[in-house]
């Protein structure tokens, strides 16, 4: 038996009132409860719809939604990291590797050309630090969709913040060796590590935007269906 849109909306509200704050987790539970209620109504067509929903909820047992929430949360987390890995692999393509190598060459050339080395050093550290601040802000703005929390976005925000914190820590550690780098000692390592750090910051931002795009598509697909 197929439920009507109003009946599905009823179950959606019912699940939301149960304290499920994550949208992507909520729709998993709604789908499960919709299927269970539909099956109950098919077996007993005269049963009131609200009673069928209650009966479907009781079928979860004394622990209610908790076992299903735990299971679905693990599945969402697993799916999230699979997507992150897929987007990272896609990001680190051959053209980007070539561009990265070219960027290293350009920076090394600039270091040899620039007369005031300290300006060169401060500029690179400043760019890296500024990008992480912007990334923190962008990540914060992507924490919800239409004021709805998403578990996948929460995971992505944690990953982005971790990458940005590591990058800021790296930027700070570079300043400890500022005098050596300015004198040209270990400048190759400085540039290589800087480019790698900057690349991972960009990769984190690109992946974050893609995850947000995925969740936004899921959200509006669900809204249209509902």
Express each pLDDT in 162-214 by its tens digit: 998 998 888 888 777 777 776 767 778 888 888 988 999 999 999 999 999 99
| CA 104 – CA 167 distance, rounded (Å) | 18
Q: What is the pLDDT of residues 92-130, one digit of tens each?
A: 888 888 988 999 999 888 888 888 888 888 888 889 889
| pLDDT over 70, % of the chain | 95
Per-residue pLDDT at 19: 79
The pLDDT score that the predictor gives to residue 160 is 92
In Å, what is the CA distance from 114 to each residue of 120, 124, 137, 182, 188? 7, 13, 33, 11, 15
Q: Is residue 79's pLDDT more than 70?
A: yes
| pLDDT score recorded for residue 173 | 82
Query: With bands split at pLDDT 50, 70 and 90, how would you rate the model's confidence at 13?
Result: confident
Whose tokens are 């893609």? That residue is: 210
Question: pLDDT per residue over 60-75, tens digit each?
Answer: 665 667 887 888 889 9
Would the pTM of this model clear 0.85, i.e. be above it? no
Give Cβ neighbours of residue 180 (< 8 Å, ≥ 6 apart): 186
Residues 22 and 82: their CA atoms lie apart, in Å, by 20
């Amino acid at each position: 038996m197929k439920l009507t849109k109003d009946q599905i909306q009823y179950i959606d509200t019912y699940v939301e009132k149960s304290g499920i704050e994550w949208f992507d987790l909520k729709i998993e539970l709604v789908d499960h409860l919709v299927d269970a209620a539909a099956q109950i109504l098919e077996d007993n067509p005269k049963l009131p719809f609200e009673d069928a929903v209650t009966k479907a909820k009781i079928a979860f047992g004394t622990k209610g939604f908790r076992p299903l929430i735990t299971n679905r949360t693990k599945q969402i987390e697993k799916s999230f990291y699979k997507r992150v890995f897929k987007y990272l692999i896609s990001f680190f393509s051959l053209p980007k590797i070539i561009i990265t190598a070219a960027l290293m060459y350009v920076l090394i050339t600039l270091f040899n050309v620039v007369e005031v080395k300290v300006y060169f050093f401060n500029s690179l550290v400043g760019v890296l630090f500024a990008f992480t601040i912007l990334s923190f802000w962008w990540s914060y703005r992507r924490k919800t969709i239409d004021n709805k929390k998403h578990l996948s976005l929460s995971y992505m925000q944690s990953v982005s913040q971790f990458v940005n914190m590591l990058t800021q820590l790296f930027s700070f550690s570079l300043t400890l060796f500022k005098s050596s780098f300015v004198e040209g000692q270990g400048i190759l390592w400085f540039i290589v590590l800087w480019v790698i750090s900057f690349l991972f910051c960009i990769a984190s931002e690109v992946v974050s935007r893609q995850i947000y795009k995925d969740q936004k598509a899921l959200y509006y697909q669900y809204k249209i269906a509902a």
